[in-house]
Structure 1
Amino acid sequence: MSLHDALRRGADHFPGGRAVLSVRMSKGDEVLRKELSGAVSHKLGAMDALAIARLLVEGRTPHCYDYPAFVAQECGGRFVPNDEPEPEASLNPMTKVSRLMRETSDVTTTVIEALSDGVISDNELARIEHEIAEAEEVLRKLRRAARATNAAGKPKSERQHVDLPVLDPMARTPASV
C-alpha cells in the first residue's frame, strides 16, 4: 500500500465520496482524483493530505485510519486511534438535531435563491454543494452522538466500537487525532 492508496481508499468510503471531499477542500473533483491517484501532473501536498485525513477521521469512515497508520509505520512508529470521550455536551443528540435544522435551512435557502432565475450557475452550484457538505457533516455528528448515547446505555461488553488512544512515540502520552 502507498500513501496515495491509503488516502484514496478513505476518500472512496467518505459519505458522498470524493466529490464531497473536493468541495470541502475547495478543489475540483477531477483535480482531487488526479492528486489521489498519484498522477505526475498533479501533486498532493502534505497539508492537503493531512486535511483529507482529518476529514476522514472526523467522519469515522471505513479506512479513515489507513493514512495515519501508513505514515506512522513509515516513520518507524505505530498508530492507535484516540479513546478520549467527547465532552458530554457535544454528544447530546438534541444539540445535533437543532444544528441539523439550521444546516438544512441553509441548504433550502441557497437552493431557492439559486433557482430564483430558473437557472443554477456554476458558482451557485458550488455554494449549494458546500451547504450540502456542511449538512452531511452535521448528519455524521448526529449519527455519532446517537451511537454514543446508545452505547452509553449498554454494558461495556455489549458495545460494538472501541477506540484506542493515539500515542505520541516521543512523549509517550496520548495525542489528539
Structure 2
Amino acid sequence: MRCKKTEICQTCSNIKNVCQTCLLDLEYGLPVQVRDAALKMQNDLPHNEVNKEYYIQNLDSQMSKFDSTKPSNSALKSKGASDLLLKLARTAPYYKRNRPRVCSFWMKGECRRGEKCPYRHERLTAPNDPLADQNIKDRYYGVNDPVAEKLLRRAAPAMPAPDDKTVTTL
C-alpha cells in the first residue's frame, strides 16, 4: 500500500523512456545514467526552465502526431550494449521498493502506535552512505546518480586486459 508520487510529466517520461514515478528505464528497469552509458547516448535536454518548457512543448506537439500505442525506438542498440543492459537488468521483482516509509516518530523515539503503526520501524542506512543521498533531478538527467554508479562499478571488468596480445594467462 505505497502511495506513488508522479515526479515528472508524461511528455518528459516519453522523451527519456522512463517511469514517471521511479525514473528508471522502462525496458530494462535501470537508471538513466547506466542506460545512456551502455548505449553511448548524449543528453540533449536543456537545463534552463524556459528552454526546457519550449523544448517540451515542441516535442509534445510532434508526439501528438504519432501513434502513442507503438513504442518509439530512437536509439539504435548495438549487440554489446544490449548484452550489458540485459546483464545489469533486474530479472526478478524488487519488492523492497513497495515497503512503507520509515516512521518519523519512531526515529525520534516517540511513536505510540506500536504494532498498529502502518509505517516501518527500522533504522535507515548509514547517513554517510552515498545511496542515502539521492537527487531526483540527477536521476532524470543521468548524472551523479549513486545507484547508477554502483551498477556501473559492478559491470566494469575487475582487471583490464593487457595490451600485449601474447599474454594468455594472468
TM norm structure 2? 0.25
Asked which structure has the greater CA Rg, the reply is 2
Q: Which has the higher helix share?
A: 1
TM norm structure 1? 0.25
